[in-house]
Chain A
Amino acid sequence: MAGAALLGRLTWQAAELAELMRETPRVSSLFFNVPEWPGHLAGQHIDVRLTAEDGYQTERSYSIASPPEARLVELTVERLDDGEVSPYLVGELKVGDKVELRGPIGLHFVWRMGDQQPMLLIAGGSGIVPLMAMLRHRALGMHKPPARLLFSSRTYADIIYREELDRLVAMNDGLTVFHTLTREKPDGWKGFTRRLDAAMVKEVAWPKEETPAAFVCGPTPFVEAAADLLVAAGYDPLWVKTERFGPTGTVGG
């Protein structure tokens, strides 16, 4: 499967929406049946292409949320009101409808089963999506490295995959999840309640002596702030892989 993900021409193919799931008020997961899917690695993305009746075409990239083991290709998409593609995917697209997609794409921002460095995953909002593919893949492994996720969301209701993350933590297989809420917190909230800062990174991140593998994904300013904090904490920049989604997720707009 991993080999298949590297090979072959990148061609557009029709994918049928098989299932639709609301994650938060602004975010839905879309499960596509892709007949010729060559398999993928955790962290890869796909391009989606929409064609209007007058022939106008537009493309956007979306991270794959499903682990390589899943039969359907899952995208988790945040609806951006001024976006060109996401309001169609989240709102108009119905089960049975088809879109064109191509992929999987990218080997840089990828985690492979067998990688043994402690994992540090840092997500801002829908930046959780490729990291979730990594955590879902890791959960199915036999010999897995310890993992920590630091996940920044606006409000409690905006936490994507909240219940599933709780279940993954309950597996007691070395995963710890830290949440931070930047806008409002519910009563009794025990997580962080501020933007990422040096003190938070110090509390959450593996010490540099452990030579961790860090993956950071989210809006551009968030990603760059997190990466800078990790380097300031002594991480080699090469340990830190980033994927920027743009100001409000332009890549997925």
Chain B
Amino acid sequence: METTADMRLDGNAIGGLLREIFTVEMTTAVGTCNNCGAVNEVGRLHVYLHAPGTVVRCPACEAVLLRIVRGRGRYWIDMSGTRTLEMAEP
């Protein structure tokens, strides 16, 4: 029996998707959780790909940081759970 926890991936798995959107390397970008304030590199975030979209959660409190849905040539991005996102310039 596979549980949701077994399906969990990490931010490394969406390095390609995030680079499509942000155009720079993102697994070493640093995000701050709007719920608990935890600060983590994207590579350490929890990622779930089995939903219709991509769901990214805080590894400390499991709050949703980011939701991305791609389709019909567009991206839909909900970042309301992310307080800040810091990344290197290209």
Contact A107 B6, CB 8 Å, known A10-B20, A61-B13:
no
Contact A106 B43, CB 8 Å, known A9-B23, A10-B16, A247-B2:
yes
- Are B19 and A105 interface neighbours, CB within 8 A? yes
Sorting the interface of chain A by its residue count into under 10, 10 to 19, 20 to 34 or 35 or more gives 20 to 34
**Chain A to chain B: the 4 pairs with minimum beta-carbon distance, closest first:** A108-B43, A108-B27, A105-B15, A106-B15
Query: How far in angstroms is the closest Cβ of chain B from A154?
Result: 17
- Are B6 and A106 interface neighbours, CB within 8 A? no
- Are B12 and A243 interface neighbours, CB within 8 A? yes
Q: How far is the CA of A102 from the CA of B20 in the complex (A)?
A: 11
Residues of B within 8 A of A6 (CB): 25
Contact A106 B10, CB 8 Å, known A220-B5, A241-B43, A247-B2:
no
> Is the CB of B54 closer than 8 A to any CB of chain A?
no
> What is the 8 Å Cβ interface bit string for chain B, positions 33-51, against chain A (1 contact, 0 not)?
0000000011110000110
Residues of A within 8 A of B27 (CB): 105-109
Contact A250 B25, CB 8 Å, known A108-B12, A244-B8:
no
Q: How far is the CA of A54 from the CA of B56 in the complex (A)?
A: 31
- Are A244 and B10 interface neighbours, CB within 8 A? yes
Contact A244 B20, CB 8 Å, known A109-B43, A220-B5:
no
Query: How far in angstroms is the closest Cβ of chain B from A184?
Result: 23
> Is the CB of A67 closer than 8 A to any CB of chain B?
no
Seen from chain B, the residues whose Cβ lies within 8 Å of a Cβ on chain A are 2, 5-13, 15-16, 19-20, 23, 25, 27-28, 41-44, 49-50, 90
> What is the 8 Å Cβ interface bit string for chain A, positions 105-121, against chain B (1 contact, 0 not)?
11111000000000000
With CB as the reference atom, state the residue of chain A lying closest to B10. Answer: A244
Interface centre among A7, A9, A220, A245 (most CB of B within 10 A): A220
Residues of B within 8 A of A174 (CB): none
Query: How far in angstroms is the closest Cβ of chain B from A43?
Result: 9
Q: How far is the CA of A224 from the CA of B19 in the complex (A)?
A: 26
Query: How far in angstroms is the closest Cβ of chain A from B74?
Result: 16
Query: How far in angstroms is the closest Cβ of chain B from A115?
Result: 15
- Are A107 and B28 interface neighbours, CB within 8 A? yes
Query: How far in angstroms is the closest Cβ of chain A from B3?
Result: 9
Query: How far in angstroms is the closest Cβ of chain B from A161?
Result: 21
> Is the CB of A33 closer than 8 A to any CB of chain B?
no
With CB as the reference atom, state the residue of chain B lying closest to A10. Answer: B19
Contact A106 B12, CB 8 Å, known A9-B23, A10-B20, A247-B2:
yes
Q: How far is the CA of A244 from the CA of B6 in the complex (A)?
A: 10
Which residues of A227-243 are within 8 A (CB) of B?
241-243
15 contacts between A and B (CB under 8 A): A10-B16, A45-B12, A45-B15, A47-B16, A61-B13, A61-B15, A107-B28, A108-B12, A108-B28, A108-B41, A220-B6, A224-B8, A246-B8, A247-B2, A251-B9
Residues of A within 8 A of B10 (CB): 242-244
Which residues of A10-34 are within 8 A (CB) of B?
10
